[in-house]
Structure 1
Amino acid sequence: MNTIQKANKGTVGVESFQHRLRLRLPRQVSDGNKRYISLNLADTLENQQIAAQKAHEIELDIISGEFDETLAKYKPQRHLSVVTPGDRPNISTISELWDNYIEYKRPSLKPRTLDKLAVLEKHIKRCPHQNLDEGMKIRLALLQQTTTSQAKDVLMYLSAACKWGMKCGLVHFNPFEGMYNQLPKHKWQDDSKPNAFSEEEKHKIIEAFKQHKPAKGLGYSHYAPFVEFLFLTGCRPSEAIGLQWKHITPDCSRITFDSSLVQVGNGERVRVNGSKNNKQRVFNCNQQLQALLLRIKPENPEPEFLVFPSPEGISIHYRNFSRRAWDKIVDPLVNRQTTPYSCRDTFISEQIAKGVPTAVVAKWCDNSVEMIEQKYLDSQVLEQLKPL
C-alpha cells in the first residue's frame, strides 16, 4: 500500500490501495477502528485531486457536526466520477488555474498560509490580464497594482500552480518559470541579520517588565513571565502563546511543543498542530525555567488552560503585545528596533556561545543548522565574550 497523503490526527487520509484510491477516516468518527471509503478511482494525479477534495468535504462535516455516520453521503456514485485523459479540462486563465490549485492544496495548508494566499488571490482576480499566454503582461500589471514583494510572491505561486497543472494535464506550459527570481529579494531576505540582546540588555528587559507600573492605564508587568520564558526557551512567540498546562509535566521539568496559536485575518487566533516545520519537540527545563513555571503554576491547573494568558484571561494578541507593550518598554531601553523574536536570537546565540553544539540548539528550536547560523546566530554577542 502506498500512502499518498499522510493524515494528521483528526484529518481524513488519502491512500492508494491496489492502485485504487480510498479515504481513511480519523478515529474520532470510526469508533477507534480504521474505516475506509473506497472511491473506485484509479490512482492518477487527476483523481488524487478529486480524492483530496472529498476528504476536505468530510473534514468540514466533522468540524460542523454534520458527519454522516452511514457514509452514504460520501459514496463515490453520488459525487465522484473517474477522470480519464479525455475528460481533462482546458484551463486558460490564471484565475481558473489558481482556484483549482488552491482547492487541491487546501487540505494540507496551515491557516496562516491560507490567510496569506487569500491576499495574493485578490491581486490575481483583479489583474486585467488573465490569459496564461500573457505572462509578461501579467507580471507588469502585478508590479503596477501591488508592491514588488507581493508581486514576487504571486508569480512564485503561479509558477508552482502551473507546474502542478502541467502534471495534471490542465495546462501545457509555464509562462512564469523563474520569473519571480528576476525581481529584487524580499526586504526580509536582504535585512535578515539576527538582532540578539546582550546579557545586560536581557536582564534589563525582564526587570523592566516586572517593574512596569504606569501612573495611569494598564501596566505590563503581567507579561514578565511570558517574556522571561521566551528568553529561556528560544521558542517562537506563537508557541509560547499557545502553550497549555497539559504540555508541561507536573514537576515543570519538561515541555512538549506540539502546537501554536497564530493570528489570521483581522486578528482571529487559530490553533495549529505541529510546529512551523510540522514537528513536535520535547524541551528539558533548566533550574531557572523550572522555577519560573512552578512560580506561575496554579494549584490545580486545568490541562487545557493557557500557561501565559492575557490580562483578560484569553490568549495573548501578539500584534497588540508587540506594538504596545514590547515597543514601549524594550526599544527605548536598547535604543534600536527589535521584536519579541529577538529573544529567540538571544537564546540561540547564548547557547552556542556557551559551547552547546549548533545541531543541539537547532533541535531545541525546531530549525536547521544552516538556518541557525544564517538567520539567528548573532556574531555581535559572540564578540562580547571572553575566553574562560
Structure 2
Amino acid sequence: MESTFGVLDVKKGLVKVQANNGWLRLYWRRSGKSHYLSLGIPEGDRLGLVIAEKQAALLSADLLSDNLDPTLNKYRLSDRRTDCVSAGELMRQYLKHHGPALENSTKNKYRIISDQLTQVFGEMRADEVEERQAERFRQFMLTRQKPITVRDRLCILSACWAWGKTIGAVKQDPWAAVRARHQVPPQQRPKPFTLDEARRIIQAFQQHSQFRLYADYVEFMLLCGFRPAEAIGLRWRHLTDEACSVVCVTETIVRGKPGPPKRGKQRIAPIPPRIAQKLRDRQGDPDDLVFPAPEGGAMNDNNFCKRVWRPVLDAIGVSYRKPYAMRYTAASHWLEAGENPVNVAEALGHDVRTLLKYYAASVRYTPPPPDFLRPLD
C-alpha cells in the first residue's frame, strides 16, 4: 500500500515523499509523466524521512529552475549514486538489469567478467577506467583466454559501459578503441575425419564395453551431419515418415535445456537408408529422445566430449577433434562424392555460400567439368 508523507513547500504537489512497499521514494510529474526515485530508506525511519524531504526539496528547486540532473545522482544518497560504482559493480548491475532475458551460461559469463574486473581494478570507479586501464585488462584476459573469447568479452564490456552512460555511471566507453585494435588470428579450417578414421571410430564405439550405447549416436552424426544439440534434442516424433528417412529439425537441447534450432530456422533433413533402418529397428514413443544418455534423459555434450569421445579417439590413435568435426566430415564427404551443394546446404541448415566457404576447402577431389559440347554419338 502506498502512502504520501508530505508535500514540499517549494511548490505544492511538485515533489512528494512516498512510502512504497516499506521503502521511501520521491515522486513527481514532468511533461505529463510520472517519475520515481527510490532512496533506499526504510518507511519507519524518522531521521530517514527528514533526509528524504531534504532530497525532495533539492530536486524541487532544480525542477523549478530547469536545472535537473538528468542522471538523478545529485538527489540520491551517496551510497546509491550510480556515478560512484566500481567497475566490477557496474558489471553486476548490468547483469541484474538484463538478467531475466539471459541464459544461465551467459549470466555466468557476466559474473566471471565482474569478478575479473574487481581482481584487476579493485574498487576503482567505473568512470575512472580509461583506455590505458582497458588495455591492461585486455592483456590480463589474454593470459587466461583465447583471442576469440577475449573479443567476445570486450564486446560485452563495451555494451555494459554504453548502458552505464544511460544511467550516469560513466561518460565514455574506454573499451571501443581497445576492441577495434584487438586482433583474432584466422581460425584453422576444420579437419574432417577420413573414411578410414570414421569407420574406425564407429567400430570402436560398437565394440566398447562401456560406451557402445553411444554407437548409434556417433554413426548418425558422422553420416547425417547434424549439430550435436540437434541430434541430442531429436525425438521420435521429429521423424516425419514411417521409414524414418526424413527428420524435421525443430528442437535442440544444450546442457539439458531445450531450445529452438540455430537462428530459429527449422529444416527438413534426409536420413541415409542404413541409418533409417537402424532407427526403425528401435523406434520408441513419440516424445522419447532418439539418443538419450545411458542413464536416461538428455545427453550432456560437454560430458560426452570429455568422458567418452576423447578417451575413445585416444585409444584407437585418431588425432583429437571436437565432436563437431563429425558434422564437417559428413559435409565434406558429401561434396567429395559429387552431391549437389544446394542439397548439402539444405540438409545442414546453411546457405550455399557458407557451405562452400567452410567445407569445400576440405574436399580432396574435384571432378573435372563435364564436356557438354562433346560430339554426339
TM-score (norm 2): 0.65
Matched, 1:292 2:285: no
CA distance in 2, matches of 1:311, 1:250: 26
Tell me the amino acid that sits aligned with residue 123 of structure 1.
Answer: Q
User: Counterpart in 2 of 1:131?
Assistant: 126
CA distance in 1, matches of 2:98, 2:359: 31
Q: Match for 2:109 among 88, 98, 116?
A: 116
Report if the CA contact (8 A) 1:220-1:325 is conserved: yes
User: Counterpart in 1 of 2:205?
Assistant: 209
Tell me the amino acid that sits aligned with residue 133 of structure 1.
Answer: E
> Unmatched 5+ residue regions in structure 2?
1-30, 36-67, 74-81, 371-377
Report if the CA contact (8 A) 1:245-1:307 is conserved: yes
> Unmatched 5+ residue regions in structure 1?
1-41, 48-84, 214-218, 264-268
Report if the CA contact (8 A) 1:89-1:170 is conserved: no
Range moving further from structure 2, 135-144 or 306-315:
135-144
> Helix, strand or coil for the counterpart of 1:330?
helix
Tell me the amino acid that sits aligned with residue 225 of structure 2.
Answer: G
Listed one character per residue, the Cα deviations across residues 179-222 of structure 1 (whole Å, up to 9, x for unaligned) are 1343342xxx5443212012222222212211223xxxxx2111
User: Counterpart in 1 of 2:159?
Assistant: 160
> Helix, strand or coil for the counterpart of 1:119?
helix
Report if the CA contact (8 A) 1:143-1:151 is conserved: no
User: Counterpart in 1 of 2:174?
Assistant: 175
Superposed displacement of residue 87, structure 1: 5.4
Superposed displacement of residue 108, structure 1: 4.2
Q: Match for 2:195 among 193, 196, 199?
A: 199
User: Counterpart in 2 of 1:80?
Assistant: none
Residues 249 and 368 (structure 1 numbering): CA distance in 2 closer, same or farther, change over 3 Å? closer
> Helix, strand or coil for the counterpart of 1:283?
strand
User: Counterpart in 1 of 2:267?
Assistant: 281
Tell me the amino acid that sits aligned with residue 147 of structure 1.
Answer: R
Range moving further from structure 2, 91-100 or 189-198:
91-100
TM-score (norm 1): 0.63
Report if the CA contact (8 A) 1:130-1:138 is conserved: no
Matched, 1:347 2:330: yes
Matched, 1:304 2:296: no
Report if the CA contact (8 A) 2:222-2:326 is conserved: yes
> Helix, strand or coil for the counterpart of 2:264?
coil
Residues 333 and 371 (structure 1 numbering): CA distance in 2 closer, same or farther, change over 3 Å? farther
Superposed displacement of residue 168, structure 1: 7.3
> Helix, strand or coil for the counterpart of 1:350?
helix
Tell me the amino acid that sits aligned with residue 294 of structure 2.
Answer: P
CA distance in 2, matches of 1:160, 1:234: 35
Q: Match for 2:316 among 333, 336, 341?
A: 333
CA distance in 2, matches of 1:169, 1:358: 52
Residues 163 and 233 (structure 1 numbering): CA distance in 2 closer, same or farther, change over 3 Å? farther
Superposed displacement of residue 274, structure 1: 1.1
Name the Cα RMSD after superposition: 3.3
User: Counterpart in 2 of 1:238?
Assistant: 229
> Helix, strand or coil for the counterpart of 1:177?
helix
Matched, 1:229 2:225: no
CA distance in 2, matches of 1:225, 1:359: 27
Q: How many residues align?
A: 288
> Helix, strand or coil for the counterpart of 1:173?
coil
Superposed displacement of residue 373, structure 1: 3.7
Matched, 1:147 2:144: yes
